[in-house]
Amino acid sequence: MRAGDVLPDQVFAITRGHLVSYAAASGDQNPIHQDEEVARSVGLPGVIAHGMYTLGLVGTAVATWTEGAEVVELGAKFTSPVVVPAEGAVEVVVGGTVKSVADGLVTLALSVTSEGTKVLGMPRAVVRA
Amino acid sequence: MPVDSALVGRAFPAPAPLTVTEERVTAFAASLGHDSRGVPPTFPIVLAFDAMQAFLDAEQVDLHRIVHGEQRFTYERPLRIGDELRATLVVTGVRRIGGADIVATASEIRDAAGELVCTGKATLVHGGASEGEQ
């Protein structure tokens, strides 16, 4: 990988079923990620994906782009909720470019959007070259 | 939630260590479509979540009133199957913005030998109708 390389977009479709599987696997059974009524009761527009689900998809994208390189940093702000419909799916698109390669580390600049809206703020991933 | 500066510096350990088993990792990875070898980089949230729950229980905060504002991990080494890990959350800051309490935390995840494996810095937003830093 070289600085400036543009990585192919990766598109993920998120369903309520994914959130149920992720809740069980992660232990995060917060009902705002599964129950419409609870989500609305706390002012959300509907059931939203766990922020960590979306960041987890970034982890998946990074692993694919880098063929499983060791991750040394990964993080983001959860700036906008990803609302997951009761039926069907919502898409999340993870885009990336290689920002820098230095001292054995590759820093990726990322963009994570859903329906044209940026859902992660200042997403950052650093892997070992 | 009693958000005051007295919380800053307080530590909340997870109640027990957790072993990174192949089963846990496989289920976690499968839910994220992560099919490469190794433990997905966001898996440490499982450990950090236990410490966060200890914090919420101690402060009598309902999980469903919490929105995750930010999460950043730094890794000293990759997690491995068989690791016995435990997180301790420390409150690093509290502030109030627009009717919401913003709690900054740092969770150190250490192995059975006490070596640091990963640090997770999280912002938890309580009480506001907004989504974190939106």
Q: What is the mean pLDDT of chain A?
A: 96
Beta bridge partners of A94: A10, A112
In a domain, A115, yes or no: yes
ipTM: 0.93
Residues of B in contact with A53 (CB under 8 A): 31-32
Query: Does the CB of A32 have a partner CB in chain B at under 8 Å?
Result: yes
Q: What is the pLDDT of residues B93-113, one digit of tens each?
A: 999 988 889 999 999 999 999
Separation CA B71–CA A56 (nearest Å): 11
Q: How near does any CA of chain A get to the CA of B119, in Å? A: 10
In the structure encoding, which two tokens stand for residue B134, read together? 């939106």
Cβ atoms A52, A88 nearer than 8 A? no
The per-residue pLDDT for B1 is 52
- Residue A43 maps to a domain: no
Predicted pLDDT of residue A117? 96
What's the rounded mean pLDDT across residues A48-63? 97
Chain B residues touching residue A51 (CB < 8 angstroms): 68, 71, 132
pLDDT, tens digit (0-9, with 9 covering 90-100), for B48-107:
999 999 999 998 888 888 889 999 999 999 999 999 999 999 999 999 988 889 999 999
DSSP state of B38: S
The answer to whether the CB atoms of B30 and A25 lie below 8 A apart is yes
For every residue of A8-35, DSSP letters joined together read: EEEEEEE-HHHHHHHHHHH----GGGT-
B42–chain A Cβ distance below 8 A for any pair: yes
Q: Quick one: average pLDDT of A92-100?
A: 98
Structural domain harbouring A108? 6-14+51-128
Name which of A54, A55, A110, A127 to mutate to probe chain B: the one with the most chain B Cβ atoms within 10 A of its Cβ: A55
Distance between CA B78 and CA B35 in Å, rounded?
16
A15 shares contact with chain B (CB less than 8 Å): no
Determine whether A15 is exposed, middle or buried from the number of CB atoms within 10 Å of its CB (0-12, 13-18, 19+): middle
Exposed/middle/buried for residue A112 (C-beta within 10 Å: 0-12, 13-18, 19+): buried
Nearest to A81 by CA among A28, A126, A117: A117
Please state, as a whole number, how many other Cβ atoms lie within 10 Å of the Cβ of residue B16. 8
A94 pLDDT tier (thresholds 50, 70, 90): very high
Q: Which residue is closest to A42 within chain B, CA to CA?
A: B129
Give the chain A residue whose CA is nearest to the CA of B26.
Answer: A25
For B11-35, how does the pLDDT look when each residue is reduced to its tens digit (9 = 90+)?
999 999 999 999 999 999 999 988 8
What pLDDT shows up at residue B67? 86
Chain A neighbors of B133, CB-CB under 8 A: 77-79, 121
- Tell me the CATH number at A64: 3.10.129.10
- Judge whether A47 and A16 are in contact, CB under 8 Å: yes
Predicted pLDDT of residue B3: 66
On average, the pLDDT of chain B sits at 90
Is residue B131 scored above 70 in pLDDT?
Answer: no
Residue A65 lies in a domain: yes
Q: Give pLDDT tens digits for A104-119.
A: 999 999 999 999 999 9
Domains along the sequence of chain B with CATH: 5-126 (3.10.129.10)
CB contact, 8 Å: B22 with chain A? no
Q: Percent of chain B having pLDDT more than 90?
A: 73
**Interchain pair B68, A62: CB under 8 A:** no
Q: Which residues of B touch A22 (CB under 8 A)?
A: 28, 31-32
Number of domains in chain A: 1
d(CA A129, CA A72): 11
Q: What is the DSSP string of A25-73?
A: HH----GGGT-HHHHHHTT-SS-B--HHHHHHHHHHHHHHHHTSPPEEE
